């Protein structure tokens, strides 16, 4: 594990809570329901790093013992201004990244957070990580999250628009087998698709598939190797 990753998630874990009562209530509720998760697991799978201050820790039990936990934190030490995660622990367990705002960006902290989250989520049996990848004035998630392994299936109207713009932009027809974002970004030679999405991409609901050998896992591992980030498979 590289030095920064060790500082982010190494032991002993140092996380503060604005309201200790919220922490105690969640701990007691997990015990009462006989849930296998501990609060430490939930913080890990939400990728809340050391030196964070947790300001939001809400939970609810839905039918069929589905647990929903909302965690909100900030971490000035690592430039994390906003970090909101929803955890849905059920038979099809998944995680929803509601908001992640880093300042400054470009220091690979976000990459390390996701790599840790993926490793922990796979260990704890989660199926996917979901988010809305936004393109906006100060948001480039539509591109950044995709580079880190998040994928989506395009609708037919979206594909028609992409094909029209692609041929106009590159003078090449978009292959018919291009159906997903990963197909577009990584399935076309010479990086044409990658550059095309950076220029013409749009906000889109995306998902990271936590199954072994998924395209999400392959894209993330390739990116980590490219950036020479040495991250532990087990934390």
Model confidence pLDDT, tens digit, residues 176-231: 999 999 999 999 987 899 999 999 999 999 999 999 999 999 999 999 988 877 66
What's the per-residue H, E or C state across 138-157? CEEHHHHHHHCCCECECCHH
42: closest CA among 68, 24, 20?
68
- Mean residue pLDDT of the chain comes to 92
Cβ atoms of 131 and 96 within 8 Å: the answer is: yes
Q: What is the DSSP string of 64-111?
A: GGEEEEEEEEEEGGGTEEEEEEEEEESTT-EEEEEEEEESS-SSSHHH
Q: Indicate the domain borders of the chain.
A: 1-127
Place of tokens 């990244």: 97
Beta bridge partners of 54: 17, 73
In the chain, alpha helices (H)? 3-9, 20-32, 39-45, 109-123, 141-147, 156-170, 181-186, 192-200, 215-226
Place of tokens 């060790």: 6
For 53-110, the pLDDT digits (tens) are 999 999 999 988 899 999 999 999 999 999 999 999 988 899 999 999 988 767 889 9
What is the pLDDT, as a whole number, of residue 233?
Answer: 46
What is the pLDDT, as a whole number, of residue 230?
Answer: 65
């Amino acid at each position: 594990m590289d030095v920064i990753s060790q500082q982010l998630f190494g032991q002993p874990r140092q996380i503060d809570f604005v309201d200790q009562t919220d922490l105690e209530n969640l701990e007691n509720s997990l015990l009462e329901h006989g849930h296998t998760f501990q609060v430490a697991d939930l913080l890990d799978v939400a990728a809340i790093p050391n030196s964070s201050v947790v300001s939001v820790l809400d939970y609810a039990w839905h039918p069929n013992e589905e647990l929903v936990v909302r965690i909100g934190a900030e971490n000035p030490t690592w430039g994390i201004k906003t970090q909101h995660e929803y955890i849905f622990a059920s038979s099809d367990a998944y995680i929803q990244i509601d908001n992640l705002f880093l300042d400054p960006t470009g220091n690979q902290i976000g990459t390390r957070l996701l790599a840790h989250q993926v490793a922990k989520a796979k260990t704890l049996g989660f199926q996917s990580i979901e988010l809305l990848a936004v393109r906006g004035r100060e948001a480039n998630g539509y591109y950044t999250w995709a580079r880190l392994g998040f994928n989506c299936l395009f609708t037919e109207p979206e594909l028609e628009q992409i094909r029209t713009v692609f041929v106009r932009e590159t003078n090449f027809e978009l292959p018919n087998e291009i159906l997903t974002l990963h197909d577009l970004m990584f399935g076309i030679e010479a990086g044409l698709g990658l550059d095309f999405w950076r220029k013409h991409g749009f906000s889109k609901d995306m998902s990271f598939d936590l199954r072994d050998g998924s395209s999400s896992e392959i894209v993330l591992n390739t990116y980590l190797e490219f950036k020479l980030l040495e991250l532990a498979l087990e934390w």
